[in-house]
Amino acid sequence: MLYYLFRFLDQFDIPGSHLWQYISFRSLLTLILSLIISAWFGERFIKFMKRRNISETQRDASIDPFGTQKKGVPTMGGIIIIVSILVPVILLGRMRNIYLILMIVTTVWLGFLGFLDDYIKIFRKNKEGLKGKYKIVGQVSIGLIVGLTLWSSPDATINENVETQRQGQEVVVTHKSESTKSLKTTIPFVKNHNLDYSELMSFCGKYKTAAGWMLFVIMTIVVVTAVSNGANLNDGMDGMCAGNSAIIGVALGIFAYVSSHIEYSAYLNIMYIPGSQELVVFICAFVGAMIGFLWYNAYPAQIFMGDTGSLTIGGIIGGCAIIIHKELMLPILCGIFFVESLSVIIQSTYFKYRKRKGERVRVFRATPIHDNFRKLDSQLDATSKYLLRGWPHRQFHESKITIRFWITTIILAAITIITLKIR
């Protein structure tokens, strides 16, 4: 809203009003405002929750082998994150931008879904929360909305990059002058960085474009659902999910910025996406909200984000990656989320397989995988065998595990960015 106000005032040469046309100015201002809101609102929200004794059903004390007390810590801190994102974005963003609208809808949608889950856990005293099938329906629905909107909206276009060969073997990358609907996406470790969904569906003949769009929508649903669940699984230690997500957000912000800048996108040989600069504003709000939330969520946590936060975070990351055509880079960038999800799948699948044979055998000491590094021998199920009982050789405090996961995510983010120059 303020963007349009100051653009209007710029017509009258009001000092400072011209600054609002610069994406760097609005993005940094959004980051600062998001940090301030999360710090100010966070403290008051925590006091409110404690006064009313609103906390999740108490967990088994045995999950805290180092004596860390988690009793009485309020949850639903995702509300702090959502407010810290939406308020700066609405104030400082260009609200007519289709990409910004999609990210706001995704935030509200998955925030509400996570809120329902936390509400059932807290007020209905049901540890299971919202049934899994309803969560999946909600995640699939928002993925479908995002995919179909990008398919049908005339504003969701790109300028495709074109390589030209000059004398001296110099390759110069330019972009087509006209914007067009495209099914191309960026893929790492591949020449020219481009993968066309319609080409994958070339066996459909003249219907390959329509089939490609169907594949794109399905991919959108898969990405949003997978990353959302991955973030949810990663939220198991103080500061874990918030810290990892902030790092991932920085990488996505870089991708969004270079994709919105025709010279940078030409240099990196990636598609130019007009209008994606508004995603930088949104991501700065996202990163600011994550860092601000860490003020209260870092060890020892004063509040947990709950599903209200974790589901929203994953949906934001997945939706943003889809919009800037970087969804195929998420397995690297969100490697931590991927491994967390994979560990749960391996553990549950193998245990069920061996149980049918009358055996109780598990692969890891505990899942999601971060719990594997703090599980003590005394906490293991005496009736079960563990294939990796000796790994790790000793257990670690959750604060050390969290920081090492952050470091891993920083490395993965750096690798993801570097892939743009590998061709």
Model confidence at 117, pLDDT cuts 50, 70, 90, reads: very high
Q: Average the pLDDT over 7-29 and give the result.
A: 82
In a domain, residue 140? The reply is yes
Ramachandran class of 176: left when φ > 0, alpha when ψ lies in -120 to 50, beta otherwise: beta
pLDDT of the residue at 70: 67
**Same domain for 88 and 213:** yes
Judged against a pLDDT cut of 60, whether residue 60 lies above it is answered with no
pLDDT at 269: 82
Based on the domain organization, do 349 and 329 belong to the same domain? no
In a domain, 104, yes or no: yes
Identify the pLDDT of residue 169: 61
> Whole-angstrom Cα distance, residue 160 to residue 182?
8
How many beta carbons lie within 10 A of that of residue 222, not counting itself?
A: 16
Q: Is the pLDDT of residue 195 over 80?
A: yes
In a domain, 226, yes or no: yes
Identify whether residues 409 and 349 lie together within a single domain.
Answer: no
Query: In terms of residues, how long is the chain?
Result: 423
Question: How many CA atoms within 13 Å lie on the side-chain side of 247?
Answer: 26
Residue 341 has pLDDT above 90, yes or no: yes
CB 406 within 8 A of CB 243: yes
- Tell me what pLDDT residue 55 has: 75
Q: Are residues 76 and 106 in the same domain?
A: yes
Contact by Cβ (8 Å): 249, 286: yes
Task: Tell me how many domains the chain contains.
Answer: 2
Q: What's the pTM value of the predicted model, to 2 decimals?
A: 0.93
pLDDT at 59 over 80: no
Mean pLDDT of 113-133: 89
User: Is residue 379 located within the same domain as residue 319?
Assistant: no
Same domain, 33 and 128: yes
Residue pair 82/104 in contact (Cβ under 8 Å)? The answer is no
Question: Predicted confidence band at 214 (pLDDT cuts at 50, 70, 90)?
Answer: very high
Give the residue-averaged pLDDT of 352-379: 93
Are residues 264 and 312 located together in one domain of the fold?
A: yes
As a whole number, mean pLDDT of residues 122-126 equals: 84
| Whether residue 103 is found in the same domain as residue 140 | yes
- Residue at 33 is within a domain: yes
Rounded to 10°, the helix 277-297/240-260 angle is: 170
Residue 388 maps to a domain: yes
Closest CA to 129 of 144, 143, 140, 114: 114
Q: Is residue 115 part of a domain?
A: yes
Residue 4 lies in a domain: no
Return the pLDDT at 161: 78
Provide the residue range defining the domain that includes 237.
19-58+68-160+195-333+399-421
Mean pLDDT, to the nearest integer, of 119-141? 89
50 shares its domain with 117: yes
Supply the pLDDT for residue 170: 63
pLDDT in tens, 300-335: 899 999 999 999 999 999 999 999 999 999 999 999
Query: What confidence tens digit (pLDDT) does each residue in 243-259 have?
Result: 999 999 999 999 999 99
Residues 6+ apart with CB under 8 A from 60: none
Per-residue model confidence (pLDDT) at position 265: 87
Has residue 11 been placed in a domain? no
Residue 217 has pLDDT above 70, yes or no: yes
Co-location of 322 and 412 in the same domain? yes
3-state secondary structure (DSSP) of residue 238? coil
**Mean per-residue pLDDT for 226-234?**
95
Same domain for 212 and 247, yes or no, is yes
pLDDT for residue 184 is more than 70: yes
Do 242 and 300 lie in a common domain?
A: yes
Q: Confidence band (pLDDT; 50, 70, 90) for 179?
A: confident
